[in-house]
Structure 1
Amino acid sequence: MAKAPDVASFDFNILLATDSYKVTHFKQYPPDTCKIYSYFECRKGKSDEFKETVFFGLQYILKKYLSGSVVTEEKIQQAKQIYELHFKQSVFHEEGWRYIITQHNGHLPIRIKAIPEGNIIPRGNVLFTVENTDPKCFWLTNYIETILVQVWYPITVATISREFKKILAQYLHKTSGSLDTLEFRLHDFGYRGVSSQESAALGGAAHLVNFQSTDTVAGLLMAQQFYDCQMAGFSIPAAEHSTIISWGRSQEKDAFEYLLKQFPSTPISIVSDSYDIFNACKQIWGDDLKDCVEQRNKDSMVVIRPDSGDPVETIIEVIRILEGVFGSTLNCQGYKLLPSFIRIFQGDAINLHSIEKILNTLKNEDWSAENIVFGCGGALLQKLNRDTLNCSFKCSYVERNGKGLDVYKQPVTDPIKGSKRGMLTLRRSPDGSIETVEEGKGNPEEVWQPMTLDLLVAVFENGNILQEYTLAEVRSNAKLQADDPQCFKPSVELLHESLLKGNS
């Protein structure tokens, strides 16, 4: 029996970054196979909650794990020993991996085409394709499925974050007439709630596609290192319960006052529900420290943070108390606005449903959405999985002895899990919609220029990154269409221009 190697002595090993059963698949394909072609999509689901997706995160995976000379003799030996122990027999394709070293200098003979990152694509369309470039490495295409499919996470976070943005944009526009502060209306509080540092980085960066407000430092570093953005998000000084209750209950006012003195010229968020949020707003903020609060301005505002109770009921009561103490004015849309030196921050129990309920209740009470900023953690970065958007990777085309064959699955028990067939093209139809065209389908007599261009861009080939996107470009692709505030759909013109640019 082989002795287990010291895993800590090796760098990341792509040979080990797969599901166990895939190690045996090189023996399962037809013996004359020379090409395997697969694709990734977010299938249409039974729920219509998310009709479109934000494509983001593949660039990180390619740069971090797949680019360059990733196959070495040391890694082959490590994988060989691990799999012999794991399977209790010799099933590892040592010869195939060594061929990649000798013939490709350890570079993966793979071609990947993908939609430009940040683009908004309706569910049910191909997002990227993968194929082998060396006929002897047909087995490699689906070997790397496992690590490629992990792009589901940043795609899902970016998609959910953008849904938050749509809701916020709609109410902000209705009640204030301006979207100037939209990108700072949802703060990422998810760092501690995710499963790992890498999750925090990927999820945090995915949120930053849509917003510029975060406390997840790992996401900032991800955006800086892999998407060429020096500083992607911002924050302000903020209290937590430990910094308040360490003063003792009898000195809550002293704690608040001390914080105001420590941060006199910057916005400061102060959690105020350690004991009694309503007393804190009415007595401490509204009486004891009223003069101190009123001396501040929009650049040094006090942000009151409730952090418990029913969010709708609590926020309505808090804003009524603050209005009674500090007054309010009407904005250009006829909605009430607290003085610029004081605002509310709600970071507890926020999800897509509760945020809309809160904003709708405020609107019905004649309050502008300008009065409140939100924070979100678990519902943004953690309460999701691969099935949230039905992310799937499937083989659709093979070549055997040089002859092509369109392949697919079509389970009689679940039509939703049927897969596409053939080599795929993503294009824009004459009516402006995006559609996936399967090889051999469509009308060959249609002449569309430049609409017939494949919107999938070659991003990776034979170990080399062919196309990179900055976060600025990703954000531009993902931005909302501001001239349609009722729907805030992605701009057709902007999307088409960016896709054409990627193909140039």
Structure 2
Amino acid sequence: MNTLAILLSDTYKQVHHNMFPRGLTKLVSYWTPRRSMLKEQDHMVFFGLQAFIKEYLITYFKRDFFKLSTDEAQELYTISMDIQLGEGNYDISPILKLHELGYLPIQIRALPEGTLVPMGVPCIEITNTHPDFAWVVQWIECILQVELWKPCAHATIGHMYRELANFYYKKTCDDILRPEMACSDFGMRGMSCMEEAERCSVAWLLSFDKTSTIPAIDYLDKYYFNDCSVSHIGIGAISTEHAVMASNYAVDGDEITFVKRLLTELYPNASFSMVSDTYDYWNMIDNILPACKKEIMQHNGKLLVRPDSGDMVEISVKTIEKLWNTFEGSVNSKGYKVLDPHIGIIYGDGCTLNNVKKVWEELEKKGFAANNIVFGVGAFCFSAVVEPDGRMVVVTRDMFGIAMKATFGEVNGQPIMIYKDPKTDVSHLKKSHKGCCHVYYDENGELRCRDGYDSFVYDGALKTVFKDGEMCYVETFKKIRNRLNGGN
């Protein structure tokens, strides 16, 4: 994308600079999750701001606005705005003045990324640092929203899976086993574009170590100083697909030939997963795998069978019982059965939170540890959250009611309180904060917000991360991850 940076907005943002009160020299706005649509999740994981600032407010603005000649910037701007609004219906002079300034004259203060944020507490505060550019504060809204809400949503979804894994691993697995290996991101092909895929996979990796989205590795290194070769985050897996299984069947006339080839020729010293329901899943479990028992037990790695259709809960539990009968295993320190380390199961279809929980619940009832199965969480689970009662919440910006609202300003040197409180808003969602906000931790360690101030409060939880075109503070992915997971 090489659209002129200042045009990365909704149309109406291009005319608001003339609509604000005359004499406006200061504007303060807050980016806030206002209400959760999820019954069992009333906090949002804040994540993605550092990458957004680096990618857009610094790199993109320098390349596609400030480093352009005035004539080029003016030409690109007028071409688009003449189409959008018509010649003479907009004022380009504030845009050219910003171009001449050479940097974005704003300050961003924010909560640390990886923070679990209660509803109603601002994550970000934005204000201008130059009296002529108060309008830039609200101009940021569109680009900030489109780039940030989904990483926060996906980070929260990942955290919900991690909390579930933490519970069942603590209850049924040896303490040495790591719940961050329980689930992997399988969602790349279901994302709307590559950019969404890499950002949302990185958000997932706040909670887990594994992803099949390769571009997430470079993204982590570029924006969060994470060398995945050292941190061992971003782990993938060797796996077959139906095209592989079916084409080998077409040549061999059976399935067992290729299963043995995988074990003895292709990957004798590596673990891999094998999609197993291309034709007859239970024949694979009941007949083919027992016939390959010698090869499986001599294999220097783990074979993970992968069912890919049917009732996820029933098939997962039944498979583990059958694999136990064939390959046996051991009983761990907490009294739960663990399959022989040469065999296991991965499920990557329909792994909603509810289904994953049901699988682990049923395994616990039958005396099996949670680590007998791993899950690949795909695109549907990143597009909708299925509640325990079956209600489906679509993953949009409205899932956490995220909004950016102006709450304070200065006109001719005098403070003004800015807020909205629509009488027709019967849900009481739309009412905004009023004045400057103090975001702080209460005596119980919970984030709170108190508004109504006529100046900035600097002793709170918001810290300056960006000012006048430069990053003021950066963090590593490891630090952000530890913040979310309590050091684990």
Report if TM-score (shorter chain) is over 0.5: yes
The Cα shift of 1:417 comes to 1.9
Q: 1:424 aligns to what SS in structure 2?
A: strand
1:255 corresponding residue in structure 2: 258
Q: RMSD of the alignment, in Å?
A: 1.9
Change (3 A) 1:364 1:311: same
Q: 2:123 aligns to what SS in structure 1?
A: strand
Cα deviations by residue, 1:287-339 (Å, 9 ceiling, x for unpaired) = x2110111135xx1111111110101111221121111112322111111111
2:400 corresponding residue in structure 1: 389
Q: How far apart, in 2, do the equivalents of 1:301 and 1:436 lie?
A: 50
2:421 corresponding residue in structure 1: 410
1:275 corresponding residue in structure 2: 279
1:311 corresponding residue in structure 2: 312
TM-score, normalised relative to structure 2:
0.90
1:343·1:371 contact (CA, 8 Å) conserved in 2? yes
Cα deviations by residue, 1:440-469 (Å, 9 ceiling, x for unpaired) = 49xxxxxxxxx9831111111111111111
Q: What are structure 1's unaligned runs of at least 5 residues?
A: 1-7, 442-450, 483-504
Q: How far apart, in 2, do the equivalents of 1:159 and 1:35 lie?
A: 33
Structure 1 residue 422 corresponds to structure 2 residue 435? yes
Q: How far apart, in 2, do the equivalents of 1:306 and 1:356 lie?
A: 18
2:161 corresponding residue in structure 1: 164
What letter matches 1:90 in structure 2? G
Change (3 A) 1:349 1:330: same
1:29 corresponding residue in structure 2: 20
Structure 1 residue 141 corresponds to structure 2 residue 147? no
Structure 1 residue 94 corresponds to structure 2 residue 92? yes
1:120·1:477 contact (CA, 8 Å) conserved in 2? no
Q: How far apart, in 2, do the equivalents of 1:94 and 1:464 lie?
A: 25
The Cα shift of 1:404 comes to 1.1
The Cα shift of 1:217 comes to 0.9
Q: 1:178 aligns to what SS in structure 2?
A: coil
What letter matches 1:361 in structure 2? E
Change (3 A) 1:431 1:381: closer
What letter matches 1:335 in structure 2? Y
How many residues align? The count is 459
The Cα shift of 1:123 comes to 2.1
Change (3 A) 1:12 1:477: farther
Q: How far apart, in 1, do the equivalents of 2:80 and 2:170 lie?
A: 58
Q: How far apart, in 2, do the equivalents of 1:311 and 1:452 lie?
A: 51
The Cα shift of 1:183 comes to 1.3
The Cα shift of 1:22 comes to 1.3
Q: How far apart, in 1, do the equivalents of 2:453 and 2:196 lie?
A: 40
Structure 1 residue 367 corresponds to structure 2 residue 378? no
What letter matches 1:241 in structure 2? H
2:303 corresponding residue in structure 1: 302
1:428·1:452 contact (CA, 8 Å) conserved in 2? no
TM-score, normalised relative to structure 1:
0.87
1:214·1:234 contact (CA, 8 Å) conserved in 2? yes
Where do 1:90-489 residues align within 5 Å? Answer: 90-102=88-100, 104-105=101-102, 107-150=103-146, 151-178=148-175, 180-231=177-228, 232-248=233-249, 250-260=253-263, 261-286=265-290, 288-296=291-299, 300-383=301-384, 384-412=395-423, 413=425, 414-440=427-453, 453-480=459-486
Q: How far apart, in 1, do the equivalents of 2:30 and 2:184 lie?
A: 34
What letter matches 1:228 in structure 2? F
Q: How far apart, in 2, do the equivalents of 1:347 and 1:136 lie?
A: 54
What letter matches 2:77 in structure 1? A
Q: What are structure 2's unaligned runs of at least 5 residues?
A: 385-394
**Percentage of matched positions with identical amino acids:** 28
The Cα shift of 1:371 comes to 0.2
2:435·2:452 contact (CA, 8 Å) conserved in 1? yes
1:169·1:179 contact (CA, 8 Å) conserved in 2? no
Q: How far apart, in 2, do the equivalents of 1:92 and 1:361 lie?
A: 63
Q: 2:403 aligns to what SS in structure 1?
A: strand
Change (3 A) 1:436 1:336: same
Compare 83-92 and 367-376 and name the one that shifted more: 83-92
Q: How far apart, in 2, do the equivalents of 1:35 and 1:203 lie?
A: 34
Where do 1:75-94 residues align within 5 Å? Answer: 75-94=73-92
The Cα shift of 1:407 comes to 1.5
Cα deviations by residue, 1:410-454 (Å, 9 ceiling, x for unpaired) = 12223122111111121111232211121449xxxxxxxxx9831
Q: How far apart, in 1, do the equivalents of 2:315 and 2:21 lie?
A: 64
The Cα shift of 1:46 comes to 5.1
